[in-house]
């Protein structure tokens, strides 16, 4: 396996957690989002979307973090990232997509760069944009997690699932942009429990070789 990574990418961060939990150590290539290396000719040939992560496994090239995580779960079934029952799977996917499809895309680096670049918005306005969408998403997610008997030590029961893999990077970024986490005690509790796991802690941005 070869994994194309960037230390501060939320999507790559998710996959690093998943790879660590599965005990997999792919060869890693770091693609700098800040310098625009992700738009280079060499990387565009690998991933025409010009996004990280990309995972190459044999002759297969996989993109999109949730697809990569589910692929890893299929080819390395233990520990499982999804519950066995259909309703449990649906709940884990819903939580994962709330983060990866509703919150994160609005706050991705290319969106923030567009706000301050082409649209001429200030850093303050950019930060307000970021916090607004995180707050909207976390408010709904906190209500869902707090009200459900299916929430345990982690997002779904007492086993780490894809939902938790998505949650950790989003909480990290929310804090990086000074989001007030006080209204989200369930999210904070789950994140603190996950931080105790070596596979999660070792995937943190600051621990990556390309961290600056």
Instruction: For residue 6, count other CB atoms closer than 10 A to its CB.
Output: 24
* Torsional class of 100: left (φ above 0), alpha (ψ -120 to 50), beta (otherwise): alpha
What is the pLDDT, as a whole number, of residue 146? 98
What is the pLDDT, as a whole number, of residue 212? 85
Domains of the chain (ranges plus CATH)?
2-79 (3.40.30.10), 86-199 (1.20.1050.10)
| Burial class for 97, CB neighbours closer than 10 Å (0-12, 13-18, 19+) | middle
Q: Could you give the count of Cα atoms lying within 13 Å of 180 in the half-sphere of its Cβ?
A: 6
Q: Give the C-alpha separation, 117 to 40, whole Å.
A: 20
Name the pTM for this structure.
Answer: 0.95
In the three-class reduction of DSSP (H, G, I as helix; E, B as strand; rest coil), residue 68 is classed as helix
What is the pLDDT, as a whole number, of residue 126? 93
Contact 54, 63 (CB under 8 A): yes
pLDDT tens, position by position, for the chain (212 residues)?
Answer: 999 999 999 999 999 999 999 999 999 999 999 999 999 999 999 999 999 999 999 999 999 999 999 999 999 999 999 999 999 999 999 999 999 999 999 998 899 999 999 999 999 999 999 999 999 999 999 999 999 999 999 999 999 999 999 999 999 999 999 999 999 999 999 999 999 999 999 999 999 999 98
Angstrom CA distances, 39 to 31, 36, 52, 181, 191, stand at: 9, 5, 11, 34, 33
Both tokens assigned to 4: 């194309």
Pairing between β-strand 2-5 and β-strand 27-30 as defined by DSSP bridges: parallel
Contact 88, 156 (CB under 8 A): yes
């Amino acid at each position: 396996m070869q994994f194309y990574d960037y230390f501060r990418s939320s999507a790559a961060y998710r996959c690093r957690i998943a790879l660590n939990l599965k005990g997999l150590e792919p060869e890693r290539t770091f693609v700098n989002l800040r310098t625009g290396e992700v738009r280079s000719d060499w990387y565009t040939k690998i991933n025409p979307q010009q996004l990280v992560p990309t995972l190459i496994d044999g002759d297969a090239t996989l993109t999109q973090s949730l697809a990569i995580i589910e692929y890893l779960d299929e080819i390395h079934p233990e520990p499982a990232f999804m519950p066995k029952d259909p309703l449990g799977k649906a709940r884990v996917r819903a939580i994962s997509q709330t983060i990866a499809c509703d919150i994160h895309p609005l706050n991705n680096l290319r969106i923030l760069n567009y706000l301050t670049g082409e649209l001429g918005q200030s850093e303050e306005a950019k930060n307000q944009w970021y916090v607004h969408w995180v707050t909207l998403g976390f408010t709904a997610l906190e209500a869902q997690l707090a009200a459900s008997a299916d929430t345990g030590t982690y997002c779904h029961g007492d086993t780490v699932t894809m939902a938790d893999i998505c949650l950790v990077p989003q909480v990290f970024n929310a804090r990086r942009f000074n989001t007030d986490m006080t209204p989200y005690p369930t999210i904070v509790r789950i994140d603190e429990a996950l931080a105790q796991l070596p596979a999660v802690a070792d995937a943190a941005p600051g621990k990556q070789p390309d961290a600056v």
